[in-house]
């Protein structure tokens, strides 16, 4: 129980960092002179560095275990928070985001590894969903509470408060988690890297990969980046009003993740549940693209629907885990997590470029966001279509 509470704490910090820019984006933009495309790149920098760090993070998890990997890496997020909070230029803010992304890299993967090594496949997504639901407190803190703190102290001091919490989480992991260094792992670095690369030849994963690249990416493009600017640009909402609406989406996200985990445990049809959840995320996006200026509370309910059904990542990981042999869980999950975060970086970078292009072509604010929501709906629709051709379940025996 203590291990799970500590991991929830660490994961909540990671979730906070993923979505914090959305609420305070207008203030960051004005303070360090970052435009629409720059905001997209700044947000995606976290996910790019997070994805790249999955390689050393995955190797560390398999060689030294989750306790040391998570605890030591998280101190880099402490450094990144400090750099971001004192940034007086976009370049220093980008460096801060890089350190934050690297520092958070092994948190969720390490949590999945602990669960995967201690619980059967049939209960994997259920326990992960519980951890995500509890850890989503961090996502909630990155909405209205962050907005209030930023109004009171300024966004820089608010990030320094989070820096202190990150240091506490890192210390708890190092001192509180049970030692879990795997026995009998004596592979060379080269051999471990080759083993990680072999995950790519598992054919059962191929139709699922597009969903890894886009499902979480679409959710984070809304929650983690564009929801705040959209509410500010289209409806002229202040920081506290934006925070309250995004808070509603975050509450739905935590509740929806737990709901999907329970449903997966009950009906035991992971692939079918992924398809349904994807469609129920796609439809609200199309509605918002069709009616992008119908009112802030209309937008709020659309965001709530996206949050409720959009985070099917644990289901996708459970689906993919059934294709992997146990010895490759650490590297396999790290590889798949890297794909997911590469997808976030690509979609956020692409969305920033599209928004900037629309601005240069003198689109109105409403038209710019309409184009954005159609873009997000389109990539999710394509990935869902490809996913339909995946096998319902693997047997963990495909050759590596």
Model confidence at 392: pLDDT above 70? yes
State which residues form the domain around 69: 2-176+199-387
Model confidence at 70: pLDDT above 70? yes
Answer whether residue 244 is part of any domain: yes
Provide the CATH number for the domain around residue 317.
Answer: 1.20.1250.20
Model confidence at 125: pLDDT above 70? no
Q: What is the pTM of this model?
A: 0.79
Report which of 246, 242, 241, 238 is spatially closest to residue 222, judged by C-alpha positions.
246
Answer whether residue 392 is part of any domain: no
The token pair that represents 392 in the structure block: 């319902």
State how many domains the chain has.
1
pLDDT band at 399 (very low <50, low <70, confident <90, very high): very low
Digit-coded pLDDT (tens) for 86-103? 998 889 999 999 999 999
Helix (H) or strand (E) holding 350: helix 329-360
Residue 389 CB-density burial (10 A; 0-12 exposed, 13-18 middle, 19+ buried): exposed
Answer whether residue 393 is part of any domain: no
C-beta separation of 150 from 158 below 8 A:
yes
Q: Which residues contact 345 (CB under 8 A, 6 or more apart)?
A: 44, 45, 47, 48, 51
Cβ atoms within 10 Å of 270's Cβ, excluding its own: 26
Answer whether residue 400 is part of any domain: no
- Residues above pLDDT 90, as percent of the chain: 42
Instruction: Give the pLDDT confidence score for residue 67 in this predicted structure.
Output: 86
Digit-coded pLDDT (tens) for 145-200? 888 898 899 989 999 999 999 999 999 999 988 877 655 555 556 766 676 677 77
């Amino acid at each position: 129980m203590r291990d799970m509470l500590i991991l929830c704490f660490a994961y909540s910090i990671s979730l906070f960092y993923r979505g914090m820019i959305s609420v305070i984006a207008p203030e960051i933009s004005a303070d360090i002179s970052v435009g629409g495309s720059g905001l997209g790149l700044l947000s995606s920098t976290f996910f790019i560095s997070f994805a790249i760090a999955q390689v050393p993070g995955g190797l560390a998890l398999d060689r030294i275990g989750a306790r040391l990997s998570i605890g030591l890496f998280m101190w880099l997020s402490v450094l990144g928070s400090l750099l971001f909070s004192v940034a007086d230029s976009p370049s220093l803010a980008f460096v801060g985001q890089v350190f934050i992304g690297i520092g958070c890299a092994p948190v969720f993967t390490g949590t999945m590894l602990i669960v995967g090594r201690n619980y059967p496949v049939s209960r994997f997504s259920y326990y992960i969903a519980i951890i995500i639901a509890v850890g989503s407190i961090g996502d909630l803190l990155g909405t209205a509470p962050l907005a209030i703190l930023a109004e009171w102290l300024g966004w820089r001091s608010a990030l320094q408060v989070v820096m202190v919490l990150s240091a506490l989480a890192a210390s708890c992991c190092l001192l509180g988690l049970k030692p879990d260094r795997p026995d009998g792992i004596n592979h060379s670095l080269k051999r471990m890297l080759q083993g990680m690369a072999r995950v790519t030849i598992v054919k059962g994963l191929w139709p699922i990969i597009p969903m890894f690249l886009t499902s979480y990416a679409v959710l984070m493009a809304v929650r983690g980046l564009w929801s705040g600017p959209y509410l500010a640009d289209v409806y002229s909402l202040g920081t506290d009003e934006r925070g309250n609406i995004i808070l509603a989406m975050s509450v739905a996200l935590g509740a929806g993740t737990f709901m999907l985990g329970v449903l997966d445990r009950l009906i035991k049809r992971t692939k079918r549940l992924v398809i349904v959840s994807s469609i129920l995320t796609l439809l609200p996006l199309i509605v918002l693209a069709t009616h992008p200026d119908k009112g802030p509370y209309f937008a709020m309910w659309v965001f709530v629907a996206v949050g409720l059904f959009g985070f099917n990542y644990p289901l996708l990981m459970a689906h993919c885990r059934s294709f992997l042999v146990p010895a490759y869980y650490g590297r396999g999950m790290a590889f798949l997590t890297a794909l997911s975060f590469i997808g976030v970086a690509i979609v956020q970078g692409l969305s920033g470029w599209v928004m900037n292009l629309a601005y240069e072509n003198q689109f109105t604010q409403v038209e710019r966001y309409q184009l954005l929501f159609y873009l997000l709906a389109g990539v999710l629709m394509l990935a869902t279509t490809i996913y339909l051709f995946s096998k319902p379940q693997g047997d963990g025996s495909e050759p590596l």
